[in-house]
């Protein structure tokens, strides 16, 4: 990859996504981009960013507002704060003229999403959302097969995301996204990737949405009789408790893993620091005694133009990974994130396509998607060439609208007409 000029970047939120995903790309390709400023409230993370990218002290800030108060310091900004904290910095940085890579979701309300989009449009800046799966070779290959008509006309699509029971416990029972009021609802925080994929693959207007789901298992009603409120002193940890925080996090620490998930908890990787964190934070709580309220399983049914139907299932109670089945008039596609299988109806034969073995970037996060979005974004900013950008503002608004409509359906127990939902929103915003 070549660029017309080296791109300068500011990072707002120097956590897992800002430093370990997008920032790591810049570490590997310093000839393409350079981090020149950081805004991060946690001192250890600020210093980590400074050390990794040699950021000058005058460009190191404790919060995004201090960065926004300065004249523009970079070509672009990565906004990788908590979900509920996306809106204000996104609008402020758009007003400053920064091109923006904004971590998904755009914001935690549909109204805020549209306000961010409006600010980007009015300031004529790029706004790219971190729907990284659109840039991963496997998912791109599924899109190509559909668009080339290999399966004929698409009739139905079934997509499942297995969150994984331990991932659910870490992120959505104990972690940053465990409570809707403190972050966002599950379908938005975790599975807007998947709704976005479905919408992208089908490529036609979604007409109606219906959804069902609940928090079934991680509740006080399922707490074992002898379980304690904190896992560090719980007698059940020695009886093979699946969700023992002590076992889960200490296993990662003792194996030498300093990346996700333990990097979310710690800045200092010692047994003492981990024990203190587990005793004093939500990460050490019993999964049946946390203040979590997001669903642990949900299904979404979508009706698209041209009589295409799609279903999406999110569940904690499955191995981590995504599986997809697409039924067309000429064939069926089955995929598990690594291999695509195609059944040709005319010959009644299956063909396997081992997609991920074909691309060296697959070792990067999200099956190569983190690498792909960074490559496309840097090229777009440097060369004014957005031909490889697949997660621009309008596309994201479209799939986010479906996501919000699905949650409205789940809460209200009715099918949502997407066009009417959009029209009602448009009236409210004018």
- CB atoms near residue 420 (< 10 Å): 11
Tell me: pLDDT of 391 over 80: yes
Residues 23 and 125 in one domain: yes
CA atoms within 13 A on the CB side of 61: 18
Would you say residue 329 lies in a domain?
no
Residue 175 lies in a domain: no
What dihedral do alpha carbons 307, 343, 321, 394 form, nearest 10°?
Answer: -40
pLDDT of residue 427: 81
Is the residue at 76 inside a domain? yes
CATH number of the domain that residue 20 is part of: 3.40.50.720
pTM of model > 0.75: yes
* Domain annotation covers residue 419: no
Q: What is the mean pLDDT of residues 332-348?
A: 96
Better pLDDT: 1 or 73: 73
360 pLDDT above the threshold of 60: no
Q: Any idea which of 10-19, 227-236, 350-359 has the lowest mean pLDDT?
A: 350-359
Mean pLDDT of 379-392: 88
Looking at residue 239, what is its pLDDT? 82
What does the pLDDT read at residue 357?
61
Q: Return the residue matching tokens 């074992």.
A: 224
Domain containing residue 38: 7-129
| Same domain for 224 and 121 | no
Examine the fold and report which residue of 99, 129, 159 is the final residue of a domain before the chain moves on.
129
Please check whether residue 97 is in contact with residue 340, taking contact to mean a CB–CB distance below 8 angstroms: no
Does 153 reside within a domain? no
Q: What is the pLDDT of residues 166-221, one digit of tens each?
A: 999 999 999 999 999 999 999 999 999 999 999 999 999 999 999 999 999 999 99
101: in domain: yes
The last residue of one of the domains, among 233, 252, 284, is 284
Residue 1 pLDDT level (bands cut at 50, 70, 90)? low
How many domains are contained in the chain? 2
- Shortest CA distance to 381 belongs to which of 140, 38, 127, 133? 127
Is pLDDT at 362 greater than 60 in this prediction?
no
Q: How much is the pLDDT for 2? A: 60
Distances (CA, A) of 314 to 120, 182, 282, 300, 308: 32, 21, 24, 9, 20
Which residue, 252, 284, 316, sits at the end of a domain? 284
The H or E element that residue 207 is part of is: strand 206-214
Q: Is the domain of 225 the same as that of 123?
A: no
Other Cβ atoms less than 10 A from the Cβ of 361: the count is: 17
Whether residue 198 is contained in a domain is answered as no
d(CA 278, CA 157): 42
d(CA 418, CA 410): 14
pLDDT score of 240? 85
In a domain, 156, yes or no: no
């Amino acid at each position: 990859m070549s660029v017309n000029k080296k791109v300068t970047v500011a990072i707002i939120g120097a956590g897992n996504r800002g430093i370990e995903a997008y920032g790591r790309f810049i570490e590997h390709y310093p000839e393409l981009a350079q981090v020149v400023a950081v805004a991060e409230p946690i001192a250890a993370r600020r210093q980590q960013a400074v050390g990794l990218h040699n950021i000058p002290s005058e460009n190191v800030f404790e919060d995004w507002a201090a960065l926004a108060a300065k004249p523009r310091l970079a070509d672009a900004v990565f906004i990788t704060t908590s979900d509920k904290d996306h809106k204000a910095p996104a609008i402020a940085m758009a007003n400053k003229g920064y091109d923006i890579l904004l971590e998904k979701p755009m914001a935690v309300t549909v109204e805020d999403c549209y306000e961010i989009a409006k600010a980007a449009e009015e300031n004529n800046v790029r706004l790219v959302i971190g729907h990284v799966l659109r840039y991963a070779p496997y998912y791109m290959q599924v899109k190509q097969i559909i668009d080339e008509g290999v399966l004929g006309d698409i009739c139905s699509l079934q997509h499942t995301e297995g969150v994984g029971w331990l991932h659910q416990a870490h992120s959505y029972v104990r972690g940053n996204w465990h409570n809707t009021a403190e972050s966002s609802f599950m379908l938005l925080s975790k599975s807007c990737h998947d709704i976005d994929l479905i919408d992208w693959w089908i490529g036609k207007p979604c007409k109606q949405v219906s959804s069902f789901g609940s928090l079934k298992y991680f509740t006080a009603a399922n707490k074992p009789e002898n379980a304690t409120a904190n896992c560090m002193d719980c007698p059940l940890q020695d009886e093979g408790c699946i969700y023992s925080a002590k076992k889960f996090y200490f296993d990662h620490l003792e194996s030498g893993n300093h990346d996700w998930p333990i990097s979310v908890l710690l800045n200092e990787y010692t047994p003492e620091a981990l024990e203190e964190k587990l005793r004093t934070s939500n990460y050490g709580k019993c999964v049946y005694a946390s203040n979590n309220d997001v669903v642990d399983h949900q299904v979404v049914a979508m009706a698209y133009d041209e009589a295409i139907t799609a279903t999406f299932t999110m569940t904690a109670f499955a191995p981590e990974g995504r599986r997809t089945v697409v039924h067309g008039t000429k064939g069926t596609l089955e995929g598990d994130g690594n291999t695509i299988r195609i059944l040709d109806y005319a010959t009644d034969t299956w063909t396997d396509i081992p997609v991920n073995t074909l691309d060296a970037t697959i070792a990067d996060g999200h099956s190569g998607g983190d690498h792909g979005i960074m490559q496309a974004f840097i090229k777009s900013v440097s060369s004014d060439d957005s031909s490889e950008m697949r997660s621009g503002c309008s596309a994201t608004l479209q799939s986010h609208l479906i996501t919000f409509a699905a949650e409205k359906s789940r809460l209200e127990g009715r099918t949502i007409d997407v066009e009417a939902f959009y029209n009602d929103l448009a009236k409210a915003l004018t």
